[in-house]
Amino acid sequence: MTGRLRAAVLLIILVVTGCSSPHRARPAAAPDLSRELAEKVTAERMFTHLHALQDIANANKGSRADGTPGYDASVEYVAKALRNRGFDVSTPQFDRLYPISPGKPTLTVAGRSFQVDQASLLVRTPPGGLTGQPVRPIAPSGCAVGDYPAALPPGAIAFVDDTSCSVVDKQKTAVAKGAVALIVVSAPNAQGAPPTLFNPGYFKQLTVPVAVVSDYGGKALAQASAPVHLVLDAENIKITSRNVLAQTRTGSPSDVIVVGAHLDSPRDSPGINDNGSGVAAVLETALQLGPLAPVTNAVRFVFWGAEEDGLGGVMDYLFGLDRDQLNDIAMYLNFTMLASPNAGFFTDDGDQSGPPSPGIAPSDVPDGSAGIERTLAGYLNLAGKRPAVMPLNPRADYHPFMVAGIPVGGMTAGGAQPKTTVQARLWGGQPGVWFDPNFQTPRDTVDNVNRDALAVMGFGVASAVGSYADSIGGANGVLPHDKRHRARLP
């Protein structure tokens, strides 16, 4: 962004924000927080963070992937920068599973094979599987030691139904009676397994191989007179990861603006555009805002772990919030891949005006998301970049917030989608080429970063954060606290 264009955008932002209708009185010390904050988040300052993340990747086999020393070093870099600025910073840990091999979990009864699900995600059968006599408790649920016969044959494999208690309790009881494995018979239906069967983190408490089989396999087990063969060979490992959180000590704690970017890189990539660019923009916005900013609404900056392997960080975070804590979140702003070399300029489709999003219905998008899209699109228009909408994605960090009923929005420069001829006319670049040709490859380095796109997008991140930190009211605002009805994630 040229100095002349930047100055013009700042002037227009000043006029627009000055005419907006604030949610509550604006602090006298912050006449135009959006403009002042955006002016400070420059490409040069964001590049300082990108070079630091590149150095971390270079020192750690070219990767900053979750569960690696490169990710741990990325966490420490971000946390240290925030602490040095005066923020109170937390790096809460969470566990997640990383799949190594799906295997072919199988139950064989009288020469007939049945596909099973491996419930013991961290426990496998020995190589070649287990062979044992199937034993059914007198009370089919198998929740108590008294449910079983007095004595079980050596090496018995217990099989129970899916009612009355958790799979952990069923396993403990079976093991107490001497069983070496457990099979849970769960008949398929529209509601799935009973909600009491798999409690959160159940797999960490299983100590022997545990399988789940359909009713067809259950009937075969009930008729079996000879030993059965069980193979559970799916391999997973447990990874302990961390998020990074910091919040202003000023502003309303019941109208929090949550601003996030995922911190981990893909497995075989330094991840400087994906998503060092989002991290750099959000981190520099936090550093320029500071912990004692004169804001109306508190701002919480979050850097997610385990995004590349299934949204582990954001899911763990939201699962830990009760309904009141969810109601205190006014909105979630998400920023990813802001500096793609063949850049586009997209806002997340909060008003559902674009093509349908697979797996997301218009009714799934919380009220207020359309206003956030308008705010971000308005900024891009002022910056001379006509915005397009990016379909919402159920695999993105914002999706769990949507499920909880929290308005969401964000920007991206695009990834593994080819730029169309029309988009190339709008934005320049090469039609028919991915927005980021180096997406999730070892070539996603600092040299992959589009400085001009980063300047535009980083400026927009700061502008949006400053605007909503100042006010969540007006035409592009969100519901006030007393009108929110968030749904706690199970």
Over the chain (490 residues), the average pLDDT of each successive run of 10 is 49 40 39 90 98 98 96 98 98 91 96 96 96 95 94 96 95 96 82 80 94 94 96 94 98 98 97 98 98 98 93 93 97 98 98 91 96 97 95 96 97 97 97 98 98 98 97 97 90
pLDDT of res. 398: 97
Contact of 338 with 379, CB cutoff 8 Å: no
Q: The sheet that has 408-412: what strands, in order across it?
A: 89-90, 244-247, 297-304, 252-262, 329-335, 408-412, 346-348, 388-390
Sequence ranges of the domains in the chain: 3-96+240-483, 103-233
307 assigned to active site:
yes
Q: Which of 175, 130, 129, 124 is nearest to 152 (CA)?
A: 175
pLDDT at residue 18, as a whole number: 39
Q: Which backbone phi and psi does 166 adopt, to 5 degrees?
A: -80, 160
Helices marked H in 125-179: 167-176
In 3-state terms, what secondary structure has residue 185?
A: strand
Tell me how far apart the alpha carbons of residues 426 and 113 are, in angstroms, rounded to a whole number.
58
List C-alpha distances in Å: 251 to 131, 138, 164, 362, 434: 63, 61, 47, 32, 41
**Reduced to 3 DSSP states, what percent helix, strand and coil does the chain have, rounded to the nearest 5?**
35, 20, 45
* Neighbour tally for 259: CB within 10 Å: 27
Cβ atoms < 10 Å from Cβ of 26? 18
Catalytic residue among 39, 284, 307, 308: 307
Tokens of 380: 């891009």
| Cα gap 35→311, rounded to integer Å | 33
For residue 90, the one-letter residue type is S
Whether the CB-CB separation of 247 and 300 falls below 8 Å is answered with yes
* Count of beta carbons in the 10 Å neighbourhood of residue 66: 31
**Integer angstrom CA distances of residue 58 from 71, 79, 381:** 12, 20, 37
Tokens of 318: 């939201």
Show the tokens assigned to 264.
């981990």
The CATH code of domain 103-233 reads 3.50.30.30
The Cα 407–Cα 476 span in angstroms is 11
Q: 379 is written with which tokens?
A: 């900024």
Structure confidence at residue 189 (pLDDT): 60
Residue labelled with tokens 């927009």? 460
Asked if residues 118 and 232 have their Cβ atoms less than 8 Å apart, the reply is yes
Residue pair 262/308 in contact by the 8 Å Cβ criterion: yes
The position carrying tokens 């009937």 is: 219
State the pLDDT at residue 356: 86
The pLDDT of residue 187 is 75
C-alpha–C-alpha distance, residues 290 and 66, integer Å: 27
The phi and psi torsions of 136 (rounded to 5 degrees) equal: -105, 130
Evaluate whether 296 touches 477 at the Cβ level (below 8 Å): no
Tell me the C-alpha distance between 104 and 117, whole Å: 9
CB atoms within 10 A of CB 80: 11
3-state secondary structure of 422: helix
Residue 437 sits at φ, ψ, to 5 deg, of -60, -15
Residues 276, 49 contacting (CB under 8 angstroms): yes
Q: In 10 A of CB 475, how many CB atoms?
A: 9
Cβ of 386: how many Cβ atoms within 10 Å? 12
Contacts for 163 with CB less than 8 Å, ≥ 6 apart? 140, 141, 194
Q: How many CB atoms lie within 10 A of CB 249?
A: 13
- pLDDT, position 24: 37
Model pLDDT, residue 21: 35
How far is residue 162's CA from residue 485's CA, in Å, rounded to a whole number?
A: 33
- pLDDT given for residue 188 in this prediction: 62
SS3 343: coil
The CATH topology of domain 3-96+240-483 is Aminopeptidase (3.40.630)
- Residue 317 carries which side chain, given as an amino acid letter? Y
pTM here is 0.83
Distance of CA 469 to the CA centre of its chain: 23
Lookup result for tokens 């605002």: 477
Separation CA 284–CA 75 (nearest Å): 15
DSSP one-letter code for 192 = -
Pairing mode of beta strands 297-304, 117-118:
unpaired
